[in-house]
Structure 1
């Protein structure tokens, strides 16, 4: 149970985020932070990309009001500021993948060097503790970058990335022991409450629509990833390294499915397209709001499934096997649905007149 002072600090963060949205939305065009519709982005008109900046301002002011964070969270917020600025620059200038990955890796390595926190163990799997040794630090870099980009890839329809963030935070609280690592619980609470004004605006419930932008998806993925690393690498919580996967299952599943499909098609795994699960559902005839509800329900279902398996199996090894089995089922289902939609579009595509005459002659 959060203390009254903590609740007050979270409300301060939410209020700051709402004010920041109001101010940044007015200057988005001047700053060049506007998202323009194109063949892949099919929204109506130009939309301000200021959601991530507003969320970060809310977190920062809320954290300053609390003022009792330890060294780890202070370093985490400082490096999060760097990545938020990086995301804003990417929204403005469309930076190269190489430059983004380099700065993301430097931010993660800074946290590791300053705090000594990284993935040291995968827990006890089939009776043996899997200690990573020197592999732990580079694995941490890969895992955190992966989750940052997973949330970026899921930011494809209104409300999706923000809603999945809230589902993940709820799953972390469900798996972990809330009284332990109170500062991490508070940081997640600040992230959730600072995201609510954005989510309401993004869904058209509070003024003119805004988007999260790369700044926002990067910030959300970064803070969630570090919270999962921190809480899974201490005995003070009940969140095991395998339970972590279920907390963010849907973004992980969809990212692997999309990247595998792109590689099999001979494309770059980082090249954007309309092959994500939300695109597949919308191409199947579902509306944006229905698609959003379906994916929220799916994310909640994965988290509850993981909790049940973790409780029933009493074995991290069986839990891990169940996670990978579910990922294979998801990937096969989504990729097959995508292949059918592409085949259907190919059949419906009109035949060029020149080719049609040749077919008639033959």
Structure 2
């Protein structure tokens, strides 16, 4: 790959994204892309939900500088535009889960039908080549939707989803090594570069905070999911179908942990609550910036562990077993810590009753430890999966 072209793609993506942030921030109110405080969203002031749109515009501009995209990358960008529009509409009108899942499924099947790319093999596991054939198509749909929603769920404190995206891209490059898929790497580079201006603004380094919005979390999860599928299904790369799991380990771990706990409580796995890892760390008294740093380090550590196992074990079965055991340990640990926090918060419950019934009673809501910790550090936490934690926003004169 030619380094000058890579630098140009990244530079154009970053500059275009930064310009888009400035323009879209002014258009947020007319477009209705504003996060308003209410009983659930306890932030200060109206915050524009335009980060994802700015990132997508930057990615498209960067991609335009690279004229060697093949059919897969072109299809991926076209279908990503549909999901970004879907996310923006969800930010504006709060679409139902059923509508979002239906459109996401249709878009994924369009990619499969037009490019022929899907999960057709899981590689050699314990000496047996696991070939899925066309049964890999529904697995592909589940995998892409799962990662899209995993990043949506992780978008809970300032900078978390964007930072985990950068960790995942770095892990993909670490695992893949030299690859003939230059177009895919260019697309990842454009995504990473376009995300930097958003992170700078979202983390409060400049005036006037913006949020990622569903458009952004959908874009990040979608592009990463398809990149991992594409790179793991050709023999020319070192990124095996099992190794891809380590590249997005933390979002996957936390999604399974949250869904497992919700189903144990008899709730829908898609019902928002405050049981994600970032909520748990905030409830333990960590500040938002400390929580962000800890989770970035944890995600990077998981990727490095996966890289070490992949390079030493030379066995996809061992690699998969280690991943499953690590995820099981994560689920048990965070569920236990969450239950202890709920016992402290709702002292009238036993741990067993908390695990089955907490947050489902009609009793008056007690102060949340995470909110207390957030307020102590000048931040406020929203009570949903798409929440953000941030410093009190400066009220804009443009409203």
- Superposition TM-score, scaled by structure 2 size: 0.86
1:163-202 to structure 2, matched below 5 A, reads: 163-202=163-202
CA distance, structure 2, for counterparts of residue 299 and residue 175 of structure 1: 15
Structure 1 match to 2:322: 322
1:18: Cα distance to partner? 0.5
Is residue 178–residue 185 contact of structure 1 (8 Å, CA) maintained in 2?
Answer: no
1:294: Cα distance to partner? 0.4
Structure 1 match to 2:95: 95
CA distance, structure 1, for counterparts of residue 348 and residue 38 of structure 2: 23
Secondary structure (helix, strand or coil) at the match of 2:211 reads: coil
1:43: Cα distance to partner? 2.8
CA distance, structure 1, for counterparts of residue 330 and residue 270 of structure 2: 20
Ranges in structure 2 where 5+ consecutive residues have no aligned partner: 350-362, 364-399
Q: Which piece of structure 1 moves more, 103-112 or 199-208?
A: 199-208
CA distance, structure 1, for counterparts of residue 245 and residue 285 of structure 2: 30
Superposed CA RMSD in Å reads 1.3
Secondary structure (helix, strand or coil) at the match of 1:130 reads: strand
1:37-48 to structure 2, matched below 5 A, reads: 37-48=37-48
Is residue 9–residue 186 contact of structure 2 (8 Å, CA) maintained in 1?
Answer: no
1:160: Cα distance to partner? 0.1
1:121: Cα distance to partner? 0.2
CA distance, structure 1, for counterparts of residue 41 and residue 278 of structure 2: 13
- Superposition TM-score, scaled by structure 1 size: 0.95
Q: Which piece of structure 1 moves more, 175-184 or 292-301?
A: 175-184
Ranges in structure 1 where 5+ consecutive residues have no aligned partner: 353-362
Which structure has more helix as a fraction of its residues?
Answer: 1
1:332 is aligned to 2:332? yes
CA distance, structure 2, for counterparts of residue 60 and residue 207 of structure 1: 26
1:120-160, Cα deviation, whole Å (9 max, x unpaired) = 00000011110001211110000000000000000000000
1:145-186, Cα deviation, whole Å (9 max, x unpaired) = 000000000000000000000000000000002342111111
1:276-291 to structure 2, matched below 5 A, reads: 276-291=276-291
1:109-188 to structure 2, matched below 5 A, reads: 109-188=109-188
1:304-315 to structure 2, matched below 5 A, reads: 304-315=304-315
Q: Which piece of structure 1 moves more, 83-92 or 339-348?
A: 339-348
CA distance, structure 2, for counterparts of residue 203 and residue 6 of structure 1: 26
Structure 2 match to 1:358: none
1:5: Cα distance to partner? 1.9
1:30: Cα distance to partner? 1.1
Is residue 83–residue 219 contact of structure 2 (8 Å, CA) maintained in 1?
Answer: yes
Q: Which piece of structure 1 moves more, 152-161 or 63-72?
A: 63-72
1:9: Cα distance to partner? 1.9
Structure 1 residues 85 and 35, CA gap change in structure 2 (3 angstroms): same
1:246-285 to structure 2, matched below 5 A, reads: 246-285=246-285
Is residue 246–residue 323 contact of structure 1 (8 Å, CA) maintained in 2?
Answer: yes
Structure 2 match to 1:15: 15
Structure 2 match to 1:360: none
Secondary structure (helix, strand or coil) at the match of 1:241 reads: coil
Q: Which piece of structure 1 moves more, 177-186 or 270-279?
A: 177-186
Secondary structure (helix, strand or coil) at the match of 1:347 reads: coil
1:39: Cα distance to partner? 4.3
Is residue 40–residue 273 contact of structure 1 (8 Å, CA) maintained in 2?
Answer: no
1:236-278, Cα deviation, whole Å (9 max, x unpaired) = 1100000000000000000000011111111111111111000
CA distance, structure 1, for counterparts of residue 318 and residue 83 of structure 2: 36
